[in-house]
Chains A and B, each alone.
Chain A
Amino acid sequence: MSVQTLEVNTEPAPEPKEERVTYLNVDHSLKSWLLTLDHKRIAILYMVSISLMFVLGGAAAAMIRLELTSPHGVMLSNETYNKMFSAHGIIMVFFFMVPSIPAVLGNFCLPLMIGCRDLAFPRLNLLSWYLFTIGAIVALAAMLSGGVDTGWTFYTPFSSVYSNSNVVTTIIGVFIAGFSSIATGLNFIVTVHKMRAPGLTWFRLPLFVWALYATSVIIVLGTPVVAITLLLVVVERTLHLGIFDPALGGDPVLFQHMFWFYSHPAVYIMILPSMGVMSEVISAFCRKRIFGYKFVAFSSIAIAVFGFLVWGHHMFVSSQSVYAGMVFSVLSFMVAVPSAIKTFNWTATVYKGRVWFTAPMIFALGFMGLFVVGGLTGLYLACLATDVHLHDTYFVIAHFHYIMVGGAIMGYMAGLHFWWPKMTGKLYPENWAKLAAGIIFIGFNLTFFPQFILGWLGNPRRYHIYPEEFQVWHVLSSAGSSILAVGYIIPLFYLLWSLKYGRNAGRNPWGAVGLEWTHVDSPPHPHNFHEVPVVTWEAYAYEPAEVEQERYDRPDVDEEGAMWTAPGSATAGEKS
């Protein structure tokens, strides 16, 4: 019906520029974050929690290295020093290393990589984060209200009878966090088995998924054992029973067997995801399928299986029988082989690749340099004759820090930088990131290489006071740790900076292949995919170099999207 109106502009109003709905902006309320079921938000929640724990664990480390600049200690009493290294170990192992990659990068990327909308059990995922946080609060409360001085290994009968510190509270915190870990592992296993997109067979999966799967199997099998073991320590301590107390008929070495049954596989929980990240990063920045895909995939499974058979190598001198020692030693040599296979395959991937030296790639190269040394030095400890000398010395500390920090944390940093654009939609400043990577690499080596020498000389672990002749190496190590600390603080700044001021990343700034890059926006929509992809291509399906070279000669990031096409992606062009 026509209405008599004034002369007005009847042109339709211009469409307001629509902001794309992402998992970040869909709801800004606190409640939507704390009660989220979105795996991506849970990943961010985890990232915040574990970063906090890393800072606390790192602060303890700084205190340790400061103390050790002098052979007589600087300002701490023996007891406080003991509480410091215990805090460092407990926080770093249970509240940083074990969750880090699986709970942050795994939670975020797993559904994206396999083409589903969320994990199998989103509520369980949220519960996992709450359990982690509660466990962390309980453990931190124990640390702050007097601390615990048993070391993260809680050896009996010291922890169950003699220690005068907050053993029970700390163990309760760790126990709760253990269930958080089990929940994540369980979720991942079911997700990988049942939620893969159509066409995505096992051998088309990214290797990161294989790594997460193997990790989850270890978590699910191993964590309950340490949970019960620690619970028995609490029972013994509070009720004065004799499970591990020899004065009451118990066996203190039984504790070690039960503890290490989990804690050795735990180190594989800490390194396998990082190896998975390595496969993703190296593949993306060499633009090549990982060399020996099946071998790398199966090596993850082999590590998970063999990892359960070697716990006794922590106990060669514990009064374990000589024959048991031999069995564990030979198995320990065998478990090293799959890791070696991976490093050879990664190196071979770089051959005839198109190497792009981005920050994730630099971190990955750093991983290689450090993990190789760490892994090889493990052989000295697997070998019975040399372990008899090196056991419980700084050599062991250097070995596992090369793997945990030099390996796993470098991998975490590589993954964090690699997927940062996907998670946040922003690019971090490359040059600062490369600088941080370099500083970390140098600082790390200066910190931990002298410790190999200290261990060889016989400096035992967990020593607050040490012989004066060792001071030179300790001072070098402490100097290195200050550089390492700087290296870790820098990313905190530029990553946060990038959230506000970073360049928009676009869907696929690296031009990488993988569902999370080709089919998911940056940052992703709450439901990840606009439509579920049907996968008909192999993993890492990069086009051969000569094909790409002909078609594209733009070396730089295209702000709008993929710089090279990838099969199945929304911007896929003609295939040659």
Chain B
Amino acid sequence: MIKNVPLVPEQASSYATQMDPLFWVLVALTVFFAGTVLTLLLFFAIRYRRGKQVDRSNAPDEHQFLEITWTIIPLLLGLGVFVWGAKLFAGAFGPPPANALEIFVVGKQWMWHIQHSNGVRENNELHVPLGRPIALTMISQDVIHDFYVPEFRIHVDVVPGRYTREWFTPIKVGRYRLFCAQYCGTDHSKMTGWVTVMDPADYARWLANGGQEVPTAPKTMAALGADLYVREGCAQCHDPGAPGHGPVLTGLYGSIVTKPSGEKVVADAAYLREQILTPADRVAPKYQQIMPSYKGQLTEEQVLQLIAYIKSLGPQNPASAEPVPISGAKPAVTKVKSARGKSADKGKSQ
């Protein structure tokens, strides 16, 4: 059992091997000073306890030389530690070496989006090759986060509105925990992931396979849409029983829906696109308007993938579908109009 109790993190980066000796020196200094002072304190307290007959003559209450000594020595030791630390820091926080591999990190509540230069993307995972400096250029999409890998011993805040850089050289193959280390809201402690350090050859192959260990067939649009549905947080509100209580999307595609104006339309692709991107036109009056706008956050390609996914959830044939009341409106159909090209309702928001 003792073996399983972690005590020391692994050294997975070159910085770790440089920093750890300094850490242990600090530990040694801590033990030495705390030990000395506290031992002396206890020793004096016990030796000179009230009632004990012991020589207390000429008890001093000042001693300039002693004061200066125990001021200068800690100061010098402190400055020594400072210089050592500052040098390491300047190296680690200065510009990365010229041969550094550039990788880009976007932090957002509550996940990490990582992009490799060749276009491979990962979420909450970072694959890097062994032995080469890795330079992360990072930015946040919302609040301040922090990209922390304890086994690399390094972290830097990920700030909205500006790029920050973090670089390190992995020296050991393995999988290491990634944490967000700047409190960022509700799921801060779930904004974690893994950094995988691979042999350079394995990494090259991984990269060439589009971020996969082995080449695989490209995913269908609906499958990509399903990924987006989870990744972009749609599931949090639209899954049945989800705490966000949004309307369930099963059977939505191709059904008749009622707009707030009373007008009935078919929920086709254009309608769905409108619903995803434009908050002002949200239907479903029974639901609170808390769905965020995805305008600017999804590419058109991604919107199409999402629509393909929603389509895969329900009936395909628009005209023959029974109207699915979302708002509790009467099922009787008075007018059926396609949402295509409709702009009259844009001004009416809930």
Contacts and interface: CB of A to CB of B under 8 A. Distances in A.
A146 interface: no
A353 B82 contact: no
Contacts of A544: 56-57, 59
Interface string B212-229: 000000000000000000
Contacts of A155: 143-144, 182-183
Of B48, B61, B192, the most chain A CB neighbours within 10 A belong to B61
B271 interface: no
Nearest to A287: B50
Interface string A145-175: 0000101010101100111000000000000
A336 B7 CA distance: 28
Given A389-B19, A546-B56, A353 B161 contact: no
A472 B5 CA distance: 7
B204 interface: no
Given A78-B187, A341-B67, A291 B48 contact: no
Interface residues on chain A, size class: 35 or more
Nearest to B89: A384
B177 interface: yes
Contacts of A458: 9, 148, 150-151, 177, 179
B279 to A, nearest CB: 16
B85 interface: yes
A473 B8 CA distance: 13
Given A291-B60, A546-B57, A460 B148 contact: yes
Given A157-B142, A462-B188, A365 B41 contact: yes
Interface in A285-340: 286, 288-295, 316-319, 322, 325-326, 329-330, 333-334, 336-337, 340
B84 A353 contact: no
A457 B78 contact: no
A329 B82 contact: yes
B230 interface: no
Number of chain B interface residues as a range: 35 or more
Contacts of A462: 183, 188-189
B245 interface: no
B73 to A, nearest CB: 10
B164 A388 contact: no
Contacts of A341: 67, 70-71
B6 interface: yes
B248 interface: no
B155 A356 contact: no
Given A162-B185, A329-B85, A467-B177, A352 B56 contact: yes
A376 B41 contact: no
A385 B89 contact: yes
Nearest to A338: B71
A377 B18 CA distance: 19
A384 B59 contact: no
A78 B188 CA distance: 8
A325 to B, nearest CB: 7
A385 B85 contact: yes
A158 B158 CA distance: 13
A188 to B, nearest CB: 27
Contact of B9 (A79, A151, A163, A457): A457
Contacts of B92: 385, 388
Nearest to B22: A385
Contacts of A470: 6
A157 B160 CA distance: 9
Interface stretch (B32-40, B111-119, B231-239, B336-344): B32-40
B86 A329 contact: yes
A392 to B, nearest CB: 4
Contacts, number: 283
A80 to B, nearest CB: 10
A463 interface: yes
Contacts of A456: 8-9, 23
Interface string B22-53: 11001001100110011011101110111100
Contact of B75 (A337, A353, A376): A337
B150 to A, nearest CB: 2
B341 to A, nearest CB: 33
B59 A319 contact: no
A457 to B, nearest CB: 5
A453 B7 contact: yes
Interface string B1-24: 000111111000000001100110
B130 to A, nearest CB: 21
B283 interface: no
Contacts of A550: none
B81 to A, nearest CB: 6
A252 B45 contact: no
A465 interface: yes
Nearest to B139: A246
A293 B159 CA distance: 47
B92 to A, nearest CB: 7
B70 A469 contact: no
Interface in A174-231: none
B41 A368 contact: yes
B48 A252 contact: no
Contacts of B93: 322, 325, 388
B157 A333 contact: no
7 contacts: A155-B144, A155-B183, A247-B160, A295-B62, A369-B38, A380-B23, A392-B183
Interface of A: 78-79, 82, 149, 151, 153, 155, 157-158, 161-163, 246-247, 251-253, 286, 288-295, 316-319, 322, 325-326, 329-330, 333-334, 336-337, 340-341, 343-357, 365, 368-369, 372-373, 376-377, 379-380, 382-389, 391-393, 453, 456-458, 460-467, 469-470, 472-473, 544-546, 555
Given A351-B60, A385-B85, A461-B183, 4 more contacts: A292-B62, A295-B62, A334-B78, A462-B183
Closest 4 CB pairs of A and B: A458-B150, A246-B161, A384-B89, A352-B59
